[in-house]
Amino acid sequence: MNIIAVTANLTDIKADAIIVNHFEGMKQPEGDAAAADRVLDGAISRLIKRKEIKGKTGEITLLHGPAAIPAGHIVVVGLGRKRGLTVEKIRGAVAEACRYLRRKGVASVATGAPGAGIKDINIEDSVQAVTEGALLGLYTFRRYITKKDDNSGEIKELIITGRPKSALTVAIERGRVLAEAANWARDMVNEPGNNMTPTHMAEAARQLSEEYGLKIEVLDKDKMVELGMGGLLGVSQGSQQPPKFIILSYKGKASDEIDIALVGKGITFDSGGISIKPSDRMGEMKGDMAGGASVLATLIALARIKPEINVTALVPATENLPSGSALKPGDIIRAMNGKTIEVLNTDAEGRLILADALSYAKKLGAKNIIDVATLTGACMVALGDICSGIFTNNQALANKVIAAGNKAGERIWQLPMYDEYKEQLKSDIADVKNIGGRYGGAITAAKFLEEFINGSRWVHLDIAGTYLTDKEKGYIVKGGTGVPVRTLVTLVLNMVKK
């Protein structure tokens, strides 16, 4: 989609439709809505008076433009109460309005910067949110649908009005970069497992390397054996697909040090292995590599924005399948850092491959380590599909991640890491078990991972509840969500500023 900034009045812009906004509780239209009301001979005011336009969040009212203006459609979008407006609500409102207009066959849309100047919302933040909302909300994944969608057109152009134009252009580009990176991760998650094997995932990373000038290295099975990656090798035993360990690096400054290592779980399909999952919804386990997709996508954005920081993404990629050669409950494996693991449940496999990846990040000397994983159903039980869980051994780093998530609109909630939880992981015959007891499963999984970071500044993000959705709301559409790409990019950029 072409997105441009202009300084013209909204009602003068040549577009198929214009979007204006109204706040709940306001008796008269304001700003662009007032200008549209004038060319409509007071139609918006009359609808407000009759309470047909209330301004509630998500409310959409369509009016037809008069001959006096270029736009054929005028859409009034509710933003809720003015005092409660956030950039997150702007993202969602724009996404809903754009999808609505796409169904009407609209090809070009113009809008202003909603809420600019209200509270802490400046025009740049508003324009970035408009851009993200449109690109994220209009995302579709139709690669394997051969029938044309007759009920949906394509919005080819978005025009955003405001001043100064230069600042708006910068904000548009920032929003575009973040949204397109998140949509790339969505594509990866939505791909079927037969077309997103570890080899396919490594090839996708190679393509990123070529397109964006990133450094890449892909370790094969022989190198994993040499490094002692027993976790990744163990999980991959049951699959005919060879495992891959992907190392993709963005270098934004001359130093060789790694400021942040982003570690992403890359289980390209998870049947549970010998501890096989129920068949119901198992197909969704093609997305068990969402953590890996998100850290790779983050480097797309960094390569385009070019901050002065060094970031490396590490993705251990494999399938987890049952077979005669698969890892068995009761087996003992040795991770890269030398610790032995008693495997009591082969469906707790993500932590096994992350054990090696975290050990590798430690070996690289990364100053900060952040892992992202669809790790536990227990996290979804605790937080539902609203928040990702965060766990840490360094509160300052966790605070930065949470703040970045708040800005990106990707909610994160912290769970405890008390040492008492570690008791559940004690093994009689190995250094550690790969599962704890029935309770606190998301926490004991995080305590397991902590065994492999050896004191490094570390944050673990469990996105089991947020990586996928079966509902359409705001800028979230059915399928992969792209969480937490925008959080990670925002975090990195914030760390550069400071």
Q: Which residues are catalytic?
A: 277, 351
Which amino acid is it at 312? T
The rounded distance, in Å, linking the Cα atoms of 130 and 132 is: 6
Pairing of strands 310-320, 266-270: parallel
The rounded distance, in Å, linking the Cα atoms of 291 and 463 is: 8
Q: Using alpha carbons, select from 14, 297, 270, 352 the residue that is nearest to residue 159.
A: 14
Q: Which two tokens stand for residue 439?
A: 């309770």
